[in-house]
Amino acid sequence: MGNWVVNYWFSVLFLATWLGLNVFLFVHAFLSYEKADKYFYTREILGSALAWARASARCLNFNSMLILLPVCRNLLSFLRGTCSFCRHALRKQLDHNLAFHKLVAYMICLHTAIHIIAHLFNFEHYSRSRWATDGSLASILSTLSQQERDEDSWINPIQSPNMTVEYVTFTSIAGVTGVIITIALVLIVTSAMEFIRRSYFEVFWYTHHIFIIYFIGLGIHGIGGIVRGQTEESLNESHPHRCAEFLEQWDDHDSHCKHPRFEGLPAESWKWILAPGILYIFERILRFYRSKQKVVITKVVMHPSKVLELQMSKHGFIMEVGQYIFVNCPSISYLEWHPFTLTSAPEEDFFSIHIRAVGDWTENLIRAFEQQHSPIPRIEVDGPFGTVSEDVFQYEVAVLVGAGIGVTPFASILKSIWYKFRHADHNLKTQTAGHAALNFDKATDILTGLKQKTSFGRPMWDNEFSTIANAHPKSVVGVFLCGPQTLAKSLSKRCHQYSSLDPRKVQFYFNKEDF
């Protein structure tokens, strides 16, 4: 437990702060609508369902504000660059951007469910009060019709006994946008499931962009003002604590209790999502501008196991080790962009990627480059973007673990180390580099191009970590992985197991590629 705290204390603090803000916003909004005199008459009809609906809406707005920030990749790259001298615990949070994005999405789903259920009860209460003939306060409030009186007199959106809940839902701004938002959210979440994302990436890619409809609907959702409260002027003139019991005197001109006036709640969602929305628009404009810059393919290499290597050049392209780019091939799809780790070193005069045939898009791309008598397909590139592997040279000792095509980010690192040794780079903390050989038919490694070849296999991790801990008893060790989640769990567990509680002794920091 102690080692786990050493590695994840900042993540726990960050998540606790986020959860705490959700709890605070929910409780604060709930109590406001449950106790405020402004909503006294509204609560007479709706009961506590009003507070549940508004409290969940407040948290829904808060998390919708956050959901786009973890996918602003240029913002994350900027923060990574400005935080280059921060502690490892602080920089590691930037590498959990997609995990936080998913957590926020789950929170949005939770509060959406609460909001919908609360409003189902609200509409039931509205309908029941409109049909009631018992002379109760709720029934009298519900007979205050917009058609019969002024604009600010009605409180129940169901204006007549013949008006159904379905009619109000599909003829009001709040109802229509609520249905659209819910459908969009269901499609986005279900298409983002691991199975669909891995097996049918195109479905995930296209469906995820329905978020545009979600945010537009959310921004205008509250404009209709179906949920209403008493106006400030009416509160001062006829306070409900003083006048609710004398409802039969409301129409008496000589009475001190006047007819209550109501107003719709002002729309709030757009205030929450405006700033992150503008930031994300700027992000997309920047990415679009960069993607339209000309890319020259200088070399195409077909490797065994259907692995395509593309070496490219682009004006003003500057990269660091371990970074990745998004690639688009307009002849295959104008809209699909796929991430690929850069396998070239920053010291080289080109940048390269290795593409393995996994899915329709990659298979079509490889097939297009295999056609010898056809012109080379045009490629568009967006990036580069930062990843956890950028920090590899910040550690005295680094352990690089790649599974399958996951060895690609480390090709860039190994080649960069070779260049730095060759040019005697004194800023390089790493003093020795070694990795086991794998027997290939070629004289050099398939990915790095070095004579020392990469070893593929499953080491005895306990022996490896124990050896490193004994050889470097006072070092900070960075463990970097690009591979499956099962391997990530195994390595993360051993990083906790072999890290010392004493900060002066060996510390293992686990880092995983996610994009």
Please identify which residue in the block is written with the tokens 């996610």.
Answer: 514
* Across 419-427, average pLDDT: 70
Are the C-beta atoms of residues 276 and 215 closer than 8 Å to each other? Answer: no
pLDDT at residue number 429: 60
pLDDT at residue number 430: 58
Residue 5 predicted with pLDDT over 90: no
Give the tens place of pLDDT for each residue, 279-322. 999 988 988 888 888 888 888 888 877 888 888 988 888 888 87
Nearest 5 degrees, angle CA 373-CA 375-CA 381? 140
- Give CA–CA dist 116/112, Å, rounded: 6
* Across 156-185, average pLDDT: 84
Name, in order, each residue with C-beta under 8 angstroms of 339's C-beta and a sequence gap of 6 or more: 324, 325, 326, 327, 515
CA atoms in the 13 A half-sphere facing the CB of 72:
21
Give the tens place of pLDDT for each residue, 77-135. 777 766 655 555 566 677 788 889 999 999 999 999 999 999 999 888 888 887 777 77
Give the tens place of pLDDT for each residue, 499-510. 877 767 888 888
Are the C-beta atoms of residues 312 and 295 closer than 8 Å to each other? Answer: yes
Give the tens place of pLDDT for each residue, 61-73. 999 999 999 888 8
Percent pLDDT > 70 in the chain is 84
- Give CA–CA dist 409/24, Å, rounded: 42
3-class state of residue 349 by DSSP: coil
pLDDT at residue number 316: 83
Give the tens place of pLDDT for each residue, 221-251. 888 778 888 888 878 877 877 777 776 666 6
- Beta-bridged to residue 481, according to DSSP, are 401, 512
- Give CA–CA dist 498/509, Å, rounded: 10
CA distances from 97 to 77, 401, 502, 513 (A): 11, 21, 29, 11
pLDDT at residue number 455: 55
pLDDT band at 437 (very low <50, low <70, confident <90, very high): very low
